Structure 1
Amino acid sequence: MKTYDYIILGAGASGLMLAYRMANDTFFKDKSILIIDKSKDKGNDRTWCFWETKDGEWDEIVTKSWDKIFFGSTDFTKSIPITPYRYKMIRSENYYNKLWGVLKTKPNITFKEELIVSFKEVEGKVQVTTSKENYIGLKLFNSIPNPKTYQSQKKYPLIHQHFVGWFIAVEDELFDDSKATFMDFSVPQNGNTRFMYVLPLDKNNALFEYTLFSKNLLEISEYEHAIVDYLNNNNIKEYKVLEVEKGNIPMTSFKFSELNSKHILNIGTAGGWTKASTGYTFKNTTKKTKDVVAFLKQKDDFSKFYKASKFWFYDLIFLDVLANYNAEGSALFSSMFKKAKIKTIFKFLDEESSLIEDLKIILSVPSKRFIQAFFKRLF
């Protein structure tokens, strides 16, 4: 049985990006890399968004970008210029095509379209069992989440960011495509944190996504009725639904790093790369995959990859508040966007802020709930 230097489980955002970085680095040119996933042609199964201050490595596949965002609620409503940032959107089909275009040219990279059954460490190596074969690797990167790991524990709160989105087209030029609706809390909250997220691609096409931060999911019809009501309330009566997307992203401060071992590293959502307080993953994956490549050139014990950060604790406190007082999410975000500068908010969410900037964010949100959550965790 052939032994691969690296096995990557999952050909989604994080798995493919890691393979892409390795493919573009001469350090790995003689390393055998195996990618396994149940499907290769995933199409437009995802939409990823992120913000950055300059031209980025993914600009050639960016579908649309905006230099203004809209925030709406009963407490605060404003169109906000985000210069020097731009808010960028990528459709996954463009992303997959770009990365596979490079990976397929590398003779040291192999792809197997098989269902992954299990994996485990065996005598200093890793054995992967699929629906067809067993494979051996020296190192394994796993991007397939196992929800039981964080759903079965009670120490850390778990909130779901769940959504249904409609890509719709209209005949008249109804959409202002100069800005993205970041959060619109004008929708009924019904005891949760609920908002509409709108990404206009041009004046005739837009993505309307009904999103919740809550513990429990809804019936599909509830998301759909909320989108219809929102469209009606904005005088959008005649439209065609071109595509539908849905998702459920875990928001938790569960210590995914404790699942790593010397030879197994969990990556992407499975590795806790999703920003716990927002559900954003793509930007963090861009950073983390670079970190993994740098790590591989210096060390080989994956249990030492994770580094503790102050932002983990910030996210933990935020999720404690959101989990226990889910109906107050609108007021929380409204206060932040009203009192803090957007540049400071983005730096904070990107985990690039200074202590002074952290303090500005902390002082911008209602203090009572956070003080309660802080002392509860402290003691």
Structure 2
Amino acid sequence: MKHYDYIFAGAGLASLMTVYKMAISRKFTDASVLLIDPDSKKDNDRTWCFWQKGPGAWDSIIYKTWDTARFANDKRSTELDFSGYKYKMIRGIDFYNFVFDELRNHPNIEFANKRVVEFADSGSRVTVMAGSESYTCNRLFNSIYNPALPLSQNKYPVLQQHFIGWHVATEKPVFDPQCPTFMDFSVLQKGNTRFMYALPLSETEAIVEYTLFSKDLLPQKEYEDAIKSYLDDLGAISYKIIDTEKGSIPMTCYPFWKRNTKNIVHIGSAGGWTKASTGYTFRNADKLSDRLVGHLLSDGPDMRKFHKKNRFWFYDLLLLDILAEKNHKGAAIFSAMFRSGKAAPVFKFLDEETSFIEELKVIWQCPKGLFIKALFKRLFRL
């Protein structure tokens, strides 16, 4: 049974970011590290987008950036003022290649192409079963999401950001390559929070997604019919589908961190690293992986002390409470948030970088009655 200092169960975004930062810090060269995942990460299986002001650590693999975006509902369309922010896009394959190119320079870091079956913390070390092999480690980072955990309780709502996206090439120019569609709520809501999302790569090429924030997934045909209708409305009568994406990202404030032990920390979606109110993951994972590496470098890091709950967790919880009870209100809430067209204060708020006064200004733009009712209901449930 081979022993490692650190094992990562699952090689998703959070795990790869963390182990990459451990590697480039040059402070873990004497530590043995094992990544375990059944996927060899050689396919372009996803796209990450995030807003950011100024240069970032991942700029060398940015595939496309935009200085503005369009927000729309059934009444109007607004070009957003980013005020210095950029909307950045990274392809999954570029991220994987970038990380693994670096990890190959570190012989102390290994990758096992296996599926983790189970793991347990004995107090002095962690045992991990993967395939037919067993390993032990001092610290385990688990990023394998177990949907049964949040679904087994009713104190914290559980929604999904679920979508199907098509990477399409049209015969005629129909897209504005300088302006993606951030959220278009002009599509029929059908009792849910539904919107179109489009990332134009040129006048004839874009990634177009039909996205919902709701509890239940749809039949595949319903997503695809919505995309077809949207392309028809743009005048894209003739096009080919280059690639497809589909996903379902958990949106919940369930306290995953309470399952951390002295030697096990849950990360990524399995640790509540997804931004609960939006489903965005990249920026949160970037910040939290920085903090996790710093935590490991502190003296005697107890994994139970890693998590820090803040007021933004409560803001997210109120929004999810509303959408869980009145899912059709999502369009009204996000429309109010972006009504002025000034996106920078909202981006700063969603990145959890605002002062309390700045937060109140953003929250005050939202439908007040909904949030006041949600606040009083939630106070009796905490």
The bucket for the TM-score relative to the shorter chain is over 0.9
Shift in Å, 1:174: 2.0
**Matched letter for residue 260 of structure 1:** N
d(CA) in 1 for partners of 2:279 and 2:216? 16
Distance of 1:62 and 1:314 partners within structure 2: 30
CA contact (8 A) 1:44 1:91 kept: yes
Give, as a single letter, the amino acid of the residue that structure 2 aligns with 1:345.
V
- Looking at structure 2, the residues matched to 31 and 133 of structure 1 have their Cα atoms a distance apart, in angstroms, of 21
CA distance in 2, matches of 1:80, 1:15: 33
| Residue 193 in structure 1 maps to residue 193 in structure 2 | yes
CA distance in 1, matches of 2:21, 2:192: 40
Give the CA deviation at 1:84. Answer: 0.4
Aligned mates of 2:77, 2:234 — CA distance in 1: 16
- What is the aligned residue count? 379
Q: State how far apart, in whole Å, the 1-side matches of 2:30 and 2:226 are.
A: 53
Contact kept? 2:47, 2:90, Cα under 8 Å: yes
The equivalent residue for 2:235 is 235
**Pairing 1:336–2:376 present:** no
Kept in 2: contact 1:157–1:252 (CA 8 A): yes
Match of 1:320 in 2: 321
- Contact 2:2–2:134 (CA under 8 A) maintained in structure 1: no
State the superposition RMSD in angstroms: 1.1
Letter in 2 for 1:307: K
Contact 1:5–1:137, Cα closer than 8 Å, also in 2 = yes
1:115 aligns with 2:115: yes
CA contact (8 A) 1:165 1:208 kept: yes
Letter in 1 for 2:294: A
2:262 is matched with 262
Alpha-carbon deviation of 1:12?
Answer: 1.6
CA deviation map 1:33-77 (0-9, x unaligned)? 011111213411111000101111111111111001100002442
Task: Tell me the residue number matched to 1:2.
Answer: 2
The residue that corresponds to 2:124 in the other structure is 124
After alignment, is 115-124 or 207-216 more displaced?
115-124
Specify the alignment match of 1:12 in structure 2.
Answer: 12
Deviation string 1:143-193 (CA, Å, 9 cap, x unpaired) is: 110111111110001111000000000132221010110000111100000
- The one-character-per-residue Cα deviations of 1:6-51 (angstroms, maximum 9, x if unpaired) are 0011112111111101111122010000111112134111110001
Q: Map Cα deviations across residues 264-300 of structure 1 (whole Å, 9 max, x no partner).
A: 0011111100000000001110111110010011142
Q: Does 1:100 align with 2:100?
A: yes
SS in 2 for 1:107: coil
Distance 2:75 2:237 in 1: 27
Q: Name whichever of 71-80 and 26-35 sits farther off.
A: 71-80
Could you tell me which residue of structure 1 aligns to residue 371 of structure 2?
370
Shift of 1:343: 1.1
Aligned-partner residue type, residue 167 of structure 1: H
> Within 5 A, what are the aligned runs for 1:298-309?
298=298, 299-309=300-310
Q: Deviations over 1:65-113 (max 9, x none)?
A: 1001100002442011313000001110000000000101111011111
Using the TM superposition, name which of 75-84 and 317-326 deviates more: 75-84
Tell me what 1:311 maps to: 312
Unaligned runs of 5+ in 2: none
What secondary structure does 1:153 align onto? coil
Task: Map 1:28-177 onto structure 2 (within 5 A).
Answer: 28-177=28-177
Partner of 1:181 in structure 2?
A: 181
SS in 2 for 1:110: strand
Q: Is contact 1:214–1:323 with CA below 8 Å preserved after alignment?
A: yes
Q: How many Å separate the matches in 2 of 1:56 and 1:27?
A: 22
Between the aligned partners of 2:218 and 2:195, the Cα distance in structure 1 is 14
2:286 is matched with: 286
**Which runs of 5 or more structure 1 residues have no equivalent in the other structure?**
none
Give per-residue Cα distances to partners, 1:281-335, cap 9 Å, x unaligned. Answer: 0111011111001001114210010112000000000100111111111111111
Q: TM-score if structure 2 supplies the norm length?
A: 0.97
Match of 1:207, SS state, is strand
What is the distance in 1 between the residues matched to 2:314 and 2:15? 27
Counterpart check, 1:347 vs 2:351: no
* Other structure's SS at 2:80 match: strand
- What displacement does 1:136 show? 0.2
d(CA) in 2 for partners of 1:201, 1:77: 20
Counterpart in the other structure of 1:297: 297
Checking the alignment, whether the CA contact within 8 Å between 2:143 and 2:269 is kept in structure 1 is yes
CA contact 1:38–1:114 (8 Å) conserved in 2: yes
Displacement of 1:340: 7.1
**Larger deviation, residues 49-58 vs 167-176:** 167-176
- Which amino acid counterpart does residue 231 of structure 2 have in structure 1? L
State the alpha-carbon separation in 2 of the partners of residues 231 and 75 from structure 1: 20
8 Å Cα contact 2:81-2:341 kept in structure 1: no
8 A Cα contact 2:65 2:89, kept in partner = yes
CA shift in 2, pair 1:78/1:110, >3 Å: same
One-letter code aligned to 1:4:
Y
Structure 1 residue runs of 4 or more that deviate by more than 4 Å after TM superposition: none
